[in-house]
Amino acid sequence: MKKDVFYDLLKFIPKAELHVHEEAVIGRETVKKVYERNFGQQMTDEEFNSLFDYKDLGGFLNSFIKIQSYFKNVQDLEIQFNDFEQYLNDNNIVYCETFISPTSHLKKGWQFNEIINTISKCIKRISTNSHRTVRCLIDVSRSFGMENAMTNLNHVIAARNPIILGIGLGGDESKGPAKDYAPVFDKAVEHGFHTVTHAGESVESWSMKDSINLCHAERLGHGIQAAKDEEFMKELAEKQIPLEVCPTSNIFILQEFKGDMKNHPAKKLYDAGCNITINTDDPTFFKCSLIDEYWNIYSELGFTLEDIKKIIKNGFTNSFMAKKMKTQWCNKVDEAWFKWFQAHPEEKE
Ligand SMILES: [Zn+2]
């Protein structure tokens, strides 16, 4: 299928996204705008370009935190959510579980409840205007230590806001092993929250095993390093533990793929029976959209259209939405798929 036709099909099909950092959907122009508004001067080209110039995970995380530092008032989050809404509309994402990283904002003195109430307002607006559902996973973060992660969880427990489904563990797993954060995740589960972790992005199987065994991870963020461990890959397939695969992010950040999508192990994981979903991670930073990512795996990795449809449905079935809703959305995917091909008889499924 040609690229423009593929994009037309994918735009028509409702999708879910499970691994995307809300702060990383901000438009590049919005970054400039927020900076100008809060610092009373334009950002120099040098500073702007340096924000998007990184060669590894550490460099990228620094840029991520730096952009968060430009936000001076909690109301600035509303601008961010304008871009987020646009992104959901452009990609026809009807359901999204997005990571929110509160640490940098809390360090500025913002109150957790203020942040969540503002986000809640934005999410309601997106639901009313665009009929899209957004829920949050709070990234307790492994970049600022265990005490900070526990503080974040305590805020989540105290807030008890229905937009928060659970917690995640973002940041560089090589510098913050999941096992160090086990008490935070034990407590989150005790309080009925869902748990996910970034694991197997850059570190081998032990990191994913710790995430599952010690942090009760219900999904693994990335999980791609499992492709190097046949035995563990088999175990993931047997247990059907969902992997939130983010192809462009991995190609961008990890030297091992030599910048070539063809080296990405998504197809190897899929062929081994692993339960994969496709996500963008940080669309603005990696210049990709969700539809781009589906095109990448279709055009570069040999996934068939049938595979693409299955993976789209995985986005819904692996989400934390109610079981009944999962079935409804999977049926809607089938209906939309059928309808699109009916209107395009020249295209083969
Ligand atoms: Zn991520």
CA 218 to ligand 1 center in whole angstroms: 15
CA 281 to ligand 1 center in whole angstroms: 5
Please provide residue 303's backbone torsions phi and psi, each rounded to the nearest 5 degrees: -70, 140
Is 231 a domain residue?
yes
What number is the average pLDDT over the span 38-57? 88
CA 137 to ligand 1 center in whole angstroms: 11
Neighbouring residues of 313: CB distance < 8 A, sequence distance ≥ 6: 329, 330, 333
What number is the average pLDDT over the span 254-283? 96
Q: Range with the lowest mean pLDDT among 101-110, 117-126, 261-270, 304-313?
A: 101-110
Residue 61 pLDDT more than 90? no
Arithmetic mean of pLDDT over the chain: 95
CA 342 to ligand 1 center in whole angstroms: 37
CA 231 to ligand 1 center in whole angstroms: 25
How many Å apart are CA 24 and CA 90, to the nearest integer?
Answer: 16
CA 319 to ligand 1 center in whole angstroms: 16
Residue 294 pLDDT more than 90? yes
CA 340 to ligand 1 center in whole angstroms: 32
What number is the average pLDDT over the span 28-54? 90
CA 246 to ligand 1 center in whole angstroms: 8
Please provide residue 17's backbone torsions phi and psi, each rounded to the nearest 5 degrees: -130, 135
How many Å apart are CA 101 and CA 105, to the nearest integer?
Answer: 8
Tell me, what CATH number does 274's domain have? 3.20.20.140
Supply 347's token pair: 């295209």
CA 333 to ligand 1 center in whole angstroms: 26
CA 341 to ligand 1 center in whole angstroms: 34
CA 65 to ligand 1 center in whole angstroms: 13
What number is the average pLDDT over the span 208-218? 97
CA 48 to ligand 1 center in whole angstroms: 22
Give the helix ranges, DSSP H, for the chain.
3-12, 28-39, 45-51, 57-69, 76-91, 103-107, 112-130, 146-159, 182-190, 205-215, 230-239, 247-253, 266-271, 283-286, 290-301, 305-317, 323-343
Q: Which domain holds residue 53?
A: 3-343
The answer to whether 342 and 24 have CB atoms below 8 angstroms apart is no
pLDDT tens track for 307-329: 999 999 999 999 999 999 999 99
CA 43 to ligand 1 center in whole angstroms: 27
Residue 94 pLDDT more than 90? yes
Is 349 a domain residue?
no
Is 309 a domain residue?
yes
CA 221 to ligand 1 center in whole angstroms: 7
pLDDT of residue 60: 84
pLDDT of residue 348: 86
CA 52 to ligand 1 center in whole angstroms: 16
CA 7 to ligand 1 center in whole angstroms: 24
For residue 147, what are the CA distances in angstroms to 92, 103, 184?
38, 12, 9
Is 348 a domain residue?
no
CA 345 to ligand 1 center in whole angstroms: 39
Is 22 a domain residue?
yes
Please provide residue 324's backbone torsions phi and psi, each rounded to the nearest 5 degrees: -60, -40
Residue 68 pLDDT more than 90? no
How many Å apart are CA 222 and CA 247, to the nearest integer?
Answer: 9
Question: What total of structural domains would you count in the chain?
Answer: 1
CA 216 to ligand 1 center in whole angstroms: 18
In total, the chain counts a number of residues equal to 349
CA 244 to ligand 1 center in whole angstroms: 9
pLDDT of residue 339: 98
pLDDT of residue 172: 86
Residue 347 pLDDT more than 90? yes
Supply 308's token pair: 């693409």
How many Å apart are CA 211 and CA 185, to the nearest integer?
Answer: 10
**Given pLDDT bands bounded at 50, 70 and 90, which one contains residue 30?**
very high
Instruction: Identify which of 28-37, 56-65, 236-245 has the greatest average pLDDT.
Output: 236-245
**Given pLDDT bands bounded at 50, 70 and 90, which one contains residue 174?**
confident
Residue 343 pLDDT more than 90? yes
CB 52: neighbour CB atoms within 10 A?
Answer: 15
CA 44 to ligand 1 center in whole angstroms: 28
